[in-house]
Structure formats: structure tokens, C-alpha cells
Homo-oligomer: A and B are copies of this chain.
Amino acid sequence: MVRVGILGASGYGGGELIRLLKRHPEVSLVGFSSRRHTGRPLYEVWPQLLDERLFRPQEEVVAEAEVVILALPNGIAMELAPGLLEAGKRVVDLSGDFRLPPEVYEAWYGLPHKSPALYREAVYGLPELFRAEIPGARLVANPGCYVTAATLALAPLAAEGLLEEAFLAGMSGVSGAGREAEETFFAELNENLRPYKPGGTHRHTPEMELNLARLKAQGRWPRTHGPKEEVRLSFIPHLVPMTRGILVSAFVRLREDLSEMRLEALYRSFYQDEPFVSFTRALPQTKGAYASNRVWVSLRKDERAGLVQVFAALDNLGKGMAGQAVQNLNLMLGFPEGLALDREGVWP
């Protein structure tokens, strides 16, 4: 049994981690912290849990854990990580702190990066593309939710050098905005739909571009920093009146005209061994991934417009966050990759 602690366990990512790790046969969940709720029992903050253990101070959780999962706001992990690694802990970070080169991070997050050296050590935890690097990692940067969907939607095209340009409409359930977001009142959001952070301002954009540029430059497995190839995306996120679920719909222009059948063959082949990616002819529905670690991908040629349309759906708290963190944890620790994870969604 590996001793795992969660810092930031009162947010939605933290809560989903608790749900998954409580049923993990190889993990002992030794503690969880929440600055705001220290000393309160778990069930008060998470009504779905029958668990009377208390939220404890961060230091106590760290002291008992071999692996620490950071589910904290941006800007904190880069302060904590050096100490954790020094103390011999392994770390999975759910924030943006170690996902982007420090100079890119600083430009998009508006914060000075405090651990640029650690960024170079950190492994980007998208197993479908960079699985080989995860087992040995001390520090894994868990990808963003939109980024996971967009990258897996376009990866087969990028890796084959087929990606010319792409325009992405992202649509997210409200839990993606976090548990304390002021703008998520029910009465304002139900029966409502809107774009937000458009015009190329959403922080997930450079992370998508970087992933695709890497694939374009080097194919699937190898990884070096700073690829020369550039990818420019235009991304519009939307807020949808539902709790969980992300869909990315991409308009893609290819460098070479391939038939729908050949494109489907390419995707099938690219993802054939992936336990959590299902590429199908049927169009994705977010509910098909509800509460699971599934990514559901499909595509269509738009012959009239000369484009490919690619779709990817997932649960933003599952494969888009906590599920992927558990997948990374399993890989880091040498467990079967799917332990404690569901491949199929809850329906209806």
C-alpha cells in the first residue's frame, strides 16, 4: 500500500480524487488538507462521503505521505514542490505550474515562476502521448481539461504532420470553473450558454499548441523541450449548463487531402492500444464519459468546405483532472494503469 496525501482536497478535483483513491486497492489515503476547512470532518464538506476523518494541516498530510497530490490554485505548487521532492516525496500536480516553459507560464499566468529548474524535470502527464516518461518521474504535471480533449483530438494528425491549422470550440460543464467561483450561481447559468475568455486569451491555448507542436516535430514518444515547429490555434471556450463534461469540436485544415476512411484508419491505429481512448464512428456525447476516465473521439470530413471536423468528449473531473492524476499515479508506481478507474460512463 502506497501512502498518498491530497493537498487542496475541498475543491472538485480533490473530491473526485478522494472518491477514486478510496476504492484504489493499492493506495492508502493517509490524509487531506484544505486551508479553509482544517479540523472539519470530511462529510461536512463532501456530503456524498460517509467519512468522519478530519481535514488536517498541510504539513501533517505531507509528513505521512509518500506521494503527494497537489490540487491547489495556480502558483502554489511551484513553491511547494522543491521541498516535497527534497523530502523524498513524489508529486502529481494538478495546477498549471509545471505544464508550460517558465517564460510561457509567466506570460500567460502573470506570475513569476519560482521553480524553473523543476519545470525541466517535470514530466507532462498525458499518458497516451508521453507514457514512457512517467514511471520514473518524481514530479508529474497533470494536463488541463480542455487541453487533454483538444490534444487527443488532434494528436494523430499532428504526429503525422497533417495538421495545417485548427479552430477549436470548447464547451465545458460548470464544475470546470471550480467550487468557489463567484460566477457559477445556478440561476444565472441554468438555461444559459455563453462564450468566455475568447480572442485567444484562455490559458489552455498555449498548452494545446505546445503539445501539438511537439507531436508535429517529433512524433509520439520522444520528448525534448522547445520544438521549432509552431502550431497556432484559435480557441473559444463556452460555459454550458451542466455540471460535468467537456466537448471540443475542431475545424481542421489538413496539409494533404485524405479520405474520411483513411483518416478514421489513422485514428483507429493511433489509439488502438489505449485503454481510455475510444475512437468510434458514433459521435461523442459527454454523458458517455460521465464519472469515468474515458475520452471519446470521432471525426467527419466536411467535403463541401474542405475540412475535417474532429470531436473529443470527456469528463472534466475524470480524464480531464482527477482520473488522469490517478492514471499517472498508477504509472509512476508501477500499478496497472487502469486501477480504480472506470473505462465506461454513468448513463443516464
Collect the chain B residues with CB atoms within 8 Å of residue A174's CB: 185-187, 190
Q: Taking A192-B286, A291-B291, A302-B198 as contacts, is the C-beta distance between A171 and B348 under 8 angstroms?
A: no
Asked if residues A305 and B233 are in contact (CB atoms below 8 Å), the reply is yes
A71 CB, nearest partner CB in chain B, Å: 15
A247 to B195, CA, bound (A): 9
Residue A324 at the B interface, CB < 8 A?
A: no
Proximity string of chain A (168-191) to chain B, C-beta cutoff 8 Å, 1 when within and 0 when not: 010101110001010011111111
Q: Taking A200-B303, A241-B240 as contacts, is the C-beta distance between A187 and B191 under 8 angstroms?
A: no
Asked if residues B313 and A194 are in contact (CB atoms below 8 Å), the reply is yes
Closest residue of chain B to A292 (Cβ to Cβ) is: B48
Residue A264 at the B interface, CB < 8 A?
A: no
Q: Which of A27-35, A39-47, A117-125 sits within the interface?
A: A39-47
Residue A283 at the B interface, CB < 8 A?
A: yes
Proximity string of chain A (57-79) to chain B, C-beta cutoff 8 Å, 1 when within and 0 when not: 00000000000000000000000
Collect the chain B residues with CB atoms within 8 Å of residue A8's CB: none
Residue A55 at the B interface, CB < 8 A?
A: no
A166 CB, nearest partner CB in chain B, Å: 10
Asked if residues B245 and A193 are in contact (CB atoms below 8 Å), the reply is yes
Proximity string of chain A (216-239) to chain B, C-beta cutoff 8 Å, 1 when within and 0 when not: 000000000000000011101010
Asked if residues A304 and B232 are in contact (CB atoms below 8 Å), the reply is yes
A48 CB, nearest partner CB in chain B, Å: 4
Collect the chain B residues with CB atoms within 8 Å of residue A48's CB: 287-290, 292, 344-347
A341 to B285, CA, bound (A): 25
Collect the chain B residues with CB atoms within 8 Å of residue A193's CB: 171, 173, 240, 242, 245, 247, 285-287, 313
Residue A5 at the B interface, CB < 8 A?
A: no
Asked if residues B309 and A236 are in contact (CB atoms below 8 Å), the reply is yes
A182 CB, nearest partner CB in chain B, Å: 9
Residue A278 at the B interface, CB < 8 A?
A: yes
Collect the chain B residues with CB atoms within 8 Å of residue A44's CB: 282
A214 to B229, CA, bound (A): 40
Collect the chain B residues with CB atoms within 8 Å of residue A345's CB: 48
A211 CB, nearest partner CB in chain B, Å: 16
Closest residue of chain B to A196 (Cβ to Cβ) is: B283
- The residues of A with any CB-CB pair to B shorter than 8 Å are 12, 15, 19, 22-23, 43-44, 46-51, 167, 169, 171, 173-175, 179, 181, 184-196, 198-200, 205, 232-234, 236, 238, 240-245, 247, 249, 251, 278, 280, 282-292, 294, 300-307, 309, 311, 313, 317, 342-348
Top 7 nearest A-B pairs (CB, nearest first) are: A199-B300, A169-B169, A48-B345, A234-B305, A192-B287, A48-B347, A187-B348
14 example contacts (A-B, Cβ-Cβ < 8 A) are as follows A23-B342, A48-B346, A50-B343, A167-B307, A171-B240, A174-B187, A184-B187, A186-B190, A191-B286, A192-B286, A193-B247, A234-B307, A236-B249, A238-B249
